[in-house]
Chain A
Amino acid sequence: MSDPFTPRAQADGGREPQAPAAAQAGAGPQLHLAPPATASEAQDKEQRRESLPPVMELRDVSVFYGDFEAVRDTDLPIGHNHITAMIGPSGCGKSTILRALNRMNDLIPGARVSGKVTFHGQDIYASEVDPIQIRRRIGMVFQKPNPFPKSIYDNIAYGLRINGLKGRLDDQVEQALTGAALWDEVKDKLKTSALALSGGQQQRLCIARAIAVQPEVILMDEPCSALDPISTGKIEDLMRQLTETYTIVIVTHNMQQAARVSHFTAFFTAEVDDRQVRHGRLVEFDDTDRIFTNPADDRTEAYVTGRFG
């Protein structure tokens, strides 16, 4: 089997033969989007995107740490090339669900996922599936920027190298940094330490590092919470650009951010059972507009209007 990772520069070698594009397993819940008001080119593209089924889906997913059910019964589609935000008060399972999407929970002893998490229709927790392959296709950016203690160049090159690319990777590094809107700021100092960059730059570097391996989905766990407002703004702009190519799922504490950038929003809350234990639960999922202007559930309305949380 050829190496699945064939970046653009080597686009000719050993690609898999194309399987029929039709017949995706399980269409899942349809994404209800408001019809476009005017027919512009951007909205044509949007319509094309809408017609694609969700790239990932959660069906009846619960996550357990040992016996403790941290999040229960989650049904959630992740729209292709859209930004889906997960909001809610602390401790209601948003990050847990996020980490279930790329099997990072596997690293926690005793963690278990029930229900079905699918990626292009395939259950990612099936026994024959390799988490390493999952994580290459579903990347992650963390709350606190965590560049490796290496040069900027080597940070990007790391992901490329473990996927078998050798030799000079200048093109791919430049591509990734451009894609993260960081190239102009660092192009003259690629060999300097990544730790010398500012917080916002480091986070964009982490985004560049993640997109260097060309994932399809990028998971972001409160990516701006450790940054100042200006860097936050830059990253939000970047997110919108990135949706041309990638699907993004973002967990955020910042409601306004969710309202600004996301197309769809999922609202989570915590329920306290009769033994005073908190469990997370998805309350409502809808277009962002609807969640923030006319939510269906009272709890959603209470949260987004600031009455609690």
Chain B
Amino acid sequence: MTTTVPPAERADAGPPSLRRSALAPRRRITNRIAMVLITLALVIAVVPLAWVTISVLARGLEIMSWQFLTEDIPNSYRRHGPGMAPAIVGTFLITGAAALLAVPLGIFGAIYLNEYGKQRPLAQVIRTMADVMTGVPSIVMGLFIYTVVVVVTGEQTGFAGALALACLMLPIVIRSSEEILRLVPDDLRQASLALGARQWRTILTVVLPAAISGIASGALLAIARAAGETAPLVATIGIAFTVNPNLFSGQNTALPAQIFRNASQPFEGAQERAWGAALTLVVIVFVFTVVARVVVSRFAIKER
């Protein structure tokens, strides 16, 4: 039993003449404003991105030179002139060492989560805590390694910094590798197991090769992230003005640490070097990021 006014009566009032975009102005304006604001959000996000990139390029290029990349760091902040070689070498060595530690361990952890642990309670806990670990402030990682390594050995070394960065990278590699392993179709595993291969062999010879490009890409992104981290290094590596190729003895330095120190100095020479180091760092990070994306798009698992 309907009790509404039969629209038939209203229809007799004439064809609805209210269809010409005669939407209540309030609704039309609200919708328009909302759409504009949403688009504006993206535009607003582009502004700092462009601005930072331009600043780094412009000011970094001013001091960029071959000398900049190869000479030692002046040991007075007041001095003008180039030299960031120790930091560049330090960045490569320390980040490289961190990667050597974190990437294999992270991949094995991901293998546990996706191939063995799956949805079991312990695996769920590890998965959640790995996510939580990605949110731990990087300074805390630095303090942690300071406490267990630097205090114990009595000195700040490049290796301590590498350990701190590795702690930072580990959960990132685990989670991204796990995502990739999940994409590997189960049929591949079934085929291998059905032939009588054990799980470890299946994983190492069938699953990993299928996932390798995605995992590599994730690892490269984690390395790029670690290369840019400063806080874990502050407490662990000390400072150096000349190249120190020995990670296990003597203090060291890296690009982010140098940027940080020089940025807070009131001297122009130091600030110039900071921009130069920033440009170098951004280029390194950019290269790693681009390579990571290329790797994943060229060699990705083809979806059926």
A-side residues, CB < 8 A to B, are 1, 3-4, 8, 11, 15-16, 18-21, 24-25, 52, 55, 80-81, 119-122, 124, 128-130, 132-134, 137, 162-164, 175, 178-179, 211, 214-216, 241-242, 244-246
Q: How far is A266 from B4 in the complex, measured between Cα atoms in Å?
A: 29
Please give 5 more A-B residue pairs, beta carbons under 8 A apart, in addition to A52-B8, A214-B4, A216-B7: A3-B24, A4-B22, A16-B18, A120-B16, A241-B1
Majority DSSP secondary structure for residues of B touching A: loop
Smallest distance from the beta carbon of B12 to chain A beta carbons, Å?
5
Smallest distance from the beta carbon of B166 to chain A beta carbons, Å?
44
Indicate if B302 sits at the interface (CB-CB under 8 A).
Answer: no
Q: How far is A163 from B28 in the complex, measured between Cα atoms in Å?
A: 11
What would 5 A/B residue contacts be, using CB atoms closer than 8 Å?
Answer: A120-B16, A133-B18, A179-B3, A179-B4, A242-B2
Residue from the list A122, A162, A241 in contact with B27, Cβ < 8 A: A162
Smallest distance from the beta carbon of B24 to chain A beta carbons, Å?
6
Please, which residues of chain A bring their CB within 8 A of the CB of B44?
none
Smallest distance from the beta carbon of A91 to chain B beta carbons, Å?
24
- Interface hub of B5, B11, B12 (most chain A Cβ within 10 A): B11
Q: Are A130 and B21 in contact (CB under 8 A)?
A: yes
Q: Are B5 and A11 in contact (CB under 8 A)?
A: yes
Indicate if B298 sits at the interface (CB-CB under 8 A).
Answer: no
Please, which residues of chain B bring their CB within 8 A of the CB of A163?
24
Indicate if B23 sits at the interface (CB-CB under 8 A).
Answer: yes
Total A-B residue contacts, Cβ distance less than 8 Å: 92
Please, which residues of chain A bring their CB within 8 A of the CB of B15?
19, 24-25, 120-122
Residue from the list B4, B13, B14, B18 in contact with A8, Cβ < 8 A: B4
Please, which residues of chain B bring their CB within 8 A of the CB of A244?
2, 6
Residue from the list A55, A128, A132 in contact with B11, Cβ < 8 A: A55
Q: Are A137 and B16 in contact (CB under 8 A)?
A: yes
Q: How far is A15 from B14 in the complex, measured between Cα atoms in Å?
A: 12
Please, which residues of chain B bring their CB within 8 A of the CB of A18?
12-14
Indicate if B39 sits at the interface (CB-CB under 8 A).
Answer: no
Considering only residues 201-250 of chain B, those with a C-beta below 8 Å from chain A are: none
Q: Are B27 and A128 in contact (CB under 8 A)?
A: no
Smallest distance from the beta carbon of A292 to chain B beta carbons, Å?
28
Indicate if B20 sits at the interface (CB-CB under 8 A).
Answer: yes
Indicate if B120 sits at the interface (CB-CB under 8 A).
Answer: no
Please, which residues of chain A bring their CB within 8 A of the CB of B14?
16, 18-21
Smallest distance from the beta carbon of A153 to chain B beta carbons, Å?
18
Residue from the list B1, B7, B12 in contact with A215, Cβ < 8 A: B7
Indicate if B17 sits at the interface (CB-CB under 8 A).
Answer: yes
Residue from the list B4, B17, B21, B23 in contact with A245, Cβ < 8 A: B4
Interface string of B82-122 (1 = CB under 8 A from A): 00000000000000000000000000000000000000000
Please, which residues of chain B bring their CB within 8 A of the CB of A1?
18, 22
Given contacts A18-B13, A20-B14, contact A129 B20 (CB under 8 A): yes
- Interface hub of A8, A124, A245 (most chain B Cβ within 10 A): A245
Q: How far is A140 from B24 in the complex, measured between Cα atoms in Å?
A: 22
Q: Are B7 and A246 in contact (CB under 8 A)?
A: yes
Chain B residue at minimum C-beta to C-beta distance from A120: B15
Smallest distance from the beta carbon of A93 to chain B beta carbons, Å?
26
Q: Are A128 and B5 in contact (CB under 8 A)?
A: no
- Interface hub of A15, A130, A134, A242 (most chain B Cβ within 10 A): A130
Indicate if B26 sits at the interface (CB-CB under 8 A).
Answer: yes
Indicate if B198 sits at the interface (CB-CB under 8 A).
Answer: no
Q: Are A122 and B19 in contact (CB under 8 A)?
A: yes
Q: Are A130 and B20 in contact (CB under 8 A)?
A: yes
Q: How far is A207 from B18 in the complex, measured between Cα atoms in Å?
A: 24
